[in-house]
Amino acid sequence: MAQQTAAATPAPTRKPPVRTGGVFLSFLPWIIFSFVASPSTWEYAALAGLIASVVLSGEDLLHGKIRVLDVTAIVFFAVLCVLALFLDRGDLRWLETYAQVISYGLVAVVALGSLAFDPFTAQYARETVPREVWKSPVFVHINRVLTTLWGVVFAVLAVSTWMAVRHPSQDDWFNWIIPIALLVLAVKVTQQYPESYKARARS
């Protein structure tokens, strides 16, 4: 009888796997592209960015976990790869020169644009907090602040890499030192701000 009961009991439904690492992993393809891209290597950087995007978010997309930054990355890097295959080098001179500026600027537009609908960081935060807090003022405020932070950081990075094009003698500062410092700062704020704000909200 016990065996019959066990056999009649349906197995629990397994939830689709969800990638861990959140927003930081979604930024990784863009960072890889930015640090690899140059006038002679942007095609390889685009391919690396596309592969990283598919590897990091492909399984989630197949299970219906659609995040605006992941989809943007796959489409953007796929378009760059197609352009590299079918257009002459002379036609892509502008892209060789401004590939990093364009990529950073696109992330800034996507991040800041998401504030009008659903702050993109909330798409990751919802995976780690109960559904009942998704519409709470604290949750909404934290994600609007963090989304704004990342949007502004990437906008500044776009300007910084544009300055590197205009002032090649300062390339180390505009292409490396400033971007790395800003990304490290943004990561630290993203890690610390939510708990800090929640503590202030409770007091």
Length of the chain: 203
User: What's the average model confidence in pLDDT over 61-74?
Assistant: 85
Helix runs in 115-136, H state only: 120-125
Kindly state the percentage of the chain with pLDDT values over 90: 52
pLDDT score recorded for residue 21: 52
With contact defined as beta carbons under 8 Å apart, do 77 and 34 qualify? no
pLDDT score recorded for residue 164: 93
22: left (phi over 0), alpha (psi -120 to 50) or beta: left
Taking all residues of the chain, what is their mean pLDDT, rounded to a whole number?
85
Read off the pLDDT band of 81 (50, 70, 90): very high
Residue 33 has pLDDT above 70, yes or no: yes
Cβ neighbors of 194 (< 8 A, separation 6 or more) are 125, 142, 146
Nearest to 22 by CA among 77, 70, 76: 70
Tell me the C-alpha distance between 114 and 108, whole Å.
10
pLDDT score recorded for residue 66: 80
User: What's the average model confidence in pLDDT over 81-90?
Assistant: 83
Residue 64 has pLDDT above 80, yes or no: no
Residue 22 has pLDDT above 80, yes or no: no
pTM (global) more than 0.75: yes
